[in-house]
Amino acid sequence: MGCCLRYQNGKLQQLECGVWTDIAGQADGVPGAPPQPGQGSPQPAPQTCQEYTGVLQGNGKYLIPTPLSTGDTVQLETAIGATNDSIAWFCPDGSQFFSGECFDGLVTYLGTDPLPATPHLSVLLQVGADYYPLGQAGTVTVGAGHTNDQAILIVNTSTPATVNGSIQFKISVCNNQLGTFTHVFDFITNPWSAYVSIPTGAGSSGPSGVYSPGLGYINQLVTQGPANFTADVIDIAFPSTLITQITAEFGYGAGAYNGDTVDPTFYMQLDPGATVVNRVNMPTTPVSPQIWAGSQLMTRIEIGGNAGYALAPTDPGGTYRIFKVTVQGVGADPFV
């Protein structure tokens, strides 16, 4: 029967018949720290952070199990251990280790190290060809020119094969990228009246459409000056957001155009700026879906058109039904 326990060379051992023996079932490495993570590692969502713990061998590399991009940050929350390459033993920040202490004033600089102005054998973050003094700074921000690049931890040396020792650490990786969103307005089941309204044009007799449950936003006969229009227009208003795509789905049945070639059968207006895109004029029938793609800060989207035109009091006929709009953009979804 064994008795007495100790940690030795990164393993829990017990004394059996005068011999210290590793307890079965232990993974290699420093106690309490997992091996190199791989498949299934948790990933920080945009605008959130994720902690990782591990062991950096002095003669090796530790792959951070999530890619980094410009603006992301890595914080070295804790780091315990020491490394040596015959000069001395050094703590994770590059200060000299002796008798259980790290001595801040005792550092070594080598011109051959990846970062010559950073203490020798201190912990570095490497992203692509760029190095950051993580052990010295504590927190570093990934510089320009990186998009989903793999990142590793190393010690500051040009000859890693000569290094002994290891460092047990905990880091916090913050994904500071803006997320993307896709919001679907299914008007068949919901008018989304918190964001969607029906405008009344200048000099018009009434709103340019009406909501009909089960159908969406459908046309209304609108008189404007001497003319009647079979109109269907909606406004979508929201806090300023970077929009990258708008997809409008609709049904269209052409009425009489009576020679009109200047009024739209479909358009989108993007505000601020009153930028009109995807405009289709009478007598051309618009094709659904209509898709705009780009990158523009917006607070309002106007979508719609006319299915017919006639001089009042004639009804030009025609049908229009806007039943779905999908908005995609960058950042948080402004419609939730």
Structural domain spans, the chain: 1-31, 37-175, 181-330
Please compute the mean of the pLDDT values over residues 206-218 and round it to a whole number. Answer: 97
* pLDDT value of position 86: 85
* CA within 13 Å, CB half, 187: 24
* pLDDT value of position 23: 57
pLDDT higher than 50, residue 6: no
- Residue 29 vs residues 41, 165, 259, 316: alpha-carbon distances, Å: 19, 11, 82, 81
For 221-276, what is each residue's pLDDT tens digit? 999 999 999 999 999 999 999 999 999 999 999 999 999 999 999 999 999 989 99
pLDDT higher than 70, residue 32: no
For 118-149, what is each residue's pLDDT tens digit? 999 999 999 999 999 999 999 999 999 999 99
* pLDDT value of position 24: 61
For 181-330, the fitting CATH number among 2.60.120, 1.20.120, 3.10.620, 1.10.260 is 2.60.120
What secondary structure does DSSP assign to 1-51, as a single string? --EEEEEETTEEEEEETTEEEEPTTPPSSSTT------TT---PPTTEEEE
* pLDDT value of position 138: 95
* pLDDT value of position 202: 82
In the numeric block, which tokens belong to residue 176? 């500071």
- Where does residue 278 rank: exposed (0-12), middle (13-18), buried (19+ CB within 10 A)? middle
Quote the mean pLDDT of the chain. 92
| Nearest residue to 76 via CA among 15, 23, 137 | 137
pLDDT higher than 60, residue 83: yes
* CA within 13 Å, CB half, 76: 25
pLDDT higher than 90, residue 8: no
SS3 136: helix
Residue with tokens 């951070």: 64
Domain 37-175 fold? Jelly Rolls (2.60.120)
| Spatial distance between the Cα atoms of 11 and 5, rounded to a whole number of angstroms | 10
CB 235 within 8 Å of CB 199: yes
Supply φ then ψ for residue 134, to 5 degrees.
Answer: -60, -45
SS3 190: coil
| Spatial distance between the Cα atoms of 284 and 19, rounded to a whole number of angstroms | 92
| Nearest residue to 217 via CA among 240, 182, 190, 246 | 190
Q: Could you check whether 37-175 and 181-330 share the same CATH topology?
A: yes
Query: CA torsion 172→75→94→90, rounded to 10°?
Result: -10
Residue with tokens 């989304």: 192
CB 165 within 8 Å of CB 84: yes
